[in-house]
Structure 1
Amino acid sequence: MTDRPPVAPVAAPPVLHGAVHSWDTSVGVDGPGTRFVVFLAGCPLRCRYCHSPDTWYGRSGRRRTVDEMVALATRYRRFVAVAGGGVTVSGGEPLLQPAFTGELLRRCHALGLHTALDTSGFLGDRADESLLDATDLVLLDVKAGSPATYRRVTGTGRLAPTLRFARRLADRGTPMWIRYVLVPGLTDAPDEVARVADAAAGLATVERVEVLPFHRLGAHKYAELGLTFPLADTAPPDPELLARVRGQFAERGLTVT
């Protein structure tokens, strides 16, 4: 009898961890219906209007496994399904942790849950096809229409990656909701809005545009962190400005909320 070499044991796949800041449920804010929302920690941008500076750094999150987060999502599975909702992965910037984000979306998608990715698109090149195949909707935060204003808004970064990611999503048929934060004196110029509206109108899978009025509700977080809120003296947009900007998007045939 010939001795056979022992069969090497199959190694278990590595446990995938991510830096998770928090999780919560929301209605009609982070995608359709009632959502279980996972907020990841870490973001490469420093948007002047950011209301969550506590999510900027990965160290502000707690190490969680995909299994842990899927178990939490499963608790809400029936609740969100009945309410026409699903799971949203947000941040921070979820594409700063593409492996964790992708696996979480794939696992939730396999459970039959509607999945949404809330992203600035700045790191869109990090989203592989497997991640996007498991994403039913992308909430894309288009921060500006020109490179110069994009830099003013974010403090860093470039507009081109977001536009490239948006085109990629449209070409592959991925539904999008475009989000535009309206800040008086920063993102309200008619030509700035027109650029974003024109770009959105050229993307076949944009289902709606959300014009989000700037607010100062996160100012207390800056104080708690010993930071200065850059827009502390900026007032929210008045109804007339909000109507004008929404009208610019609607004129392009876009559904606006």
Structure 2
Amino acid sequence: MIEGYIHSIESMGLVDGPGIRTVVFFQGCRLRCRYCHNPDTWAMRSGKEQIFTPEQLVNKLLRFKPYFGDNGGVTFSGGEPLLQKDFLCEVLRLCKHAGIHTCIDTAGCGSGGYEEILAHTDLVLLDIKHFSLDGYHSITGQSPQEFLQFLSAVQKAGTPLWIRHVVVPGLTDSDAHLEGLRAYLHTIHNIQRVELLPYHTLGANKYHALGIPYSLEDVPALPPEALADWQQRFDREFHI
């Protein structure tokens, strides 16, 4: 029997894909991003997770279907949903059978099986940590090899992409960095929009509670208006 480990479910998400969405947060992530605001999702088994079969989860999601309207649906986030590939794939298949729009919010760092997953995925929200090898490792502590494999699979499948990139003061906020990101994104197909996400400190207290050192302790939050000009530029070049 396939089971999935779920951190939480948000019933009325408005920023994780088009329309009104139910957002399912999966447990488990191999990356250790310096600005991660969900360190409580890193472990696959936290002791507080909810355990579902695919059928149980989709039956729960069907309760929210009347709120989706023409544009909404379900977004699978995390953690990293790709790490629970068999469970995710079956949930996606059942959602599509039920006529629910499906979206994966991912950093692309899973464990394979991407072609089957993408066959039932309408949209990918792809979190690009950095466009260079050294920069990616500095932010995540990992190699970008798995990310590149997932990106290749997305490109082959032709799945629409919304790109997300966290902008951190002193780390990824320089004009040179954002220009490099822009150039990198022009090598990727099927991008429908790019969202620059200003760094915030809302997850810092979780690190304190879990006894985990937080490497950006003294970094201030980035005001959204600081990204307005760059966001407009990305909108002009990539927004569909």
- Cα distance change, pair 191–127 in 1 and its aligned pair in 2 (3 A): farther
Q: Residue 223 of structure 1 corresponds to which residue in structure 2? A: 208
TM-score normalised to structure 1 length: 0.85
Q: Residue 9 of structure 2 corresponds to which residue in structure 1? A: 23
Query: 1:97 is paired with a residue of what secondary structure?
Result: helix
Cα distance between partner residues in 1 of 2:205 and 2:126: 26
1:128-147 to 2 correspondences below 5 Å: 128-147=114-133
Q: Residue 54 of structure 1 corresponds to which residue in structure 2? A: 40
Cα distance between partner residues in 2 of 1:66 and 1:26: 21
Q: Residue 254 of structure 1 corresponds to which residue in structure 2? A: 238
How far 1:135 sits from its partner (Å)? 0.1
Query: 1:31 is paired with a residue of what secondary structure?
Result: coil
Cα distance between partner residues in 2 of 1:164 and 1:197: 21
Cα distance between partner residues in 2 of 1:141 and 1:127: 19
Which of 56, 65, 73 is equivalent to 1:77? Answer: 65
Unaligned runs of 5+ in 1: 1-14
Larger Rg: 1
How far 1:44 sits from its partner (Å)? 0.1
Aligned residues: 238
- Cα distance change, pair 238–21 in 1 and its aligned pair in 2 (3 A): closer
Q: Residue 12 of structure 1 corresponds to which residue in structure 2? A: none
1:64 counterpart = 2:52: yes
Unaligned runs of 5+ in 2: none
Cα distance between partner residues in 1 of 2:12 and 2:143: 30
Cα distance between partner residues in 2 of 1:166 and 1:26: 28
What is the CA deviation profile of residues 159-187 of structure 1, one whole-angstrom value per residue up to 9, with x for unaligned ones?
34324432432332100000000001111
**Aligned 8 A contact 1:207 1:255 in 2:** yes
What letter matches 1:98 in structure 2? K
> Percentage identity across aligned positions?
42
**Aligned 8 A contact 2:11 2:23 in 1:** yes
Q: Residue 42 of structure 1 corresponds to which residue in structure 2? A: 28
How far 1:223 sits from its partner (Å)? 1.7
What letter matches 1:178 in structure 2? I
CA RMSD after TM alignment: 2.0
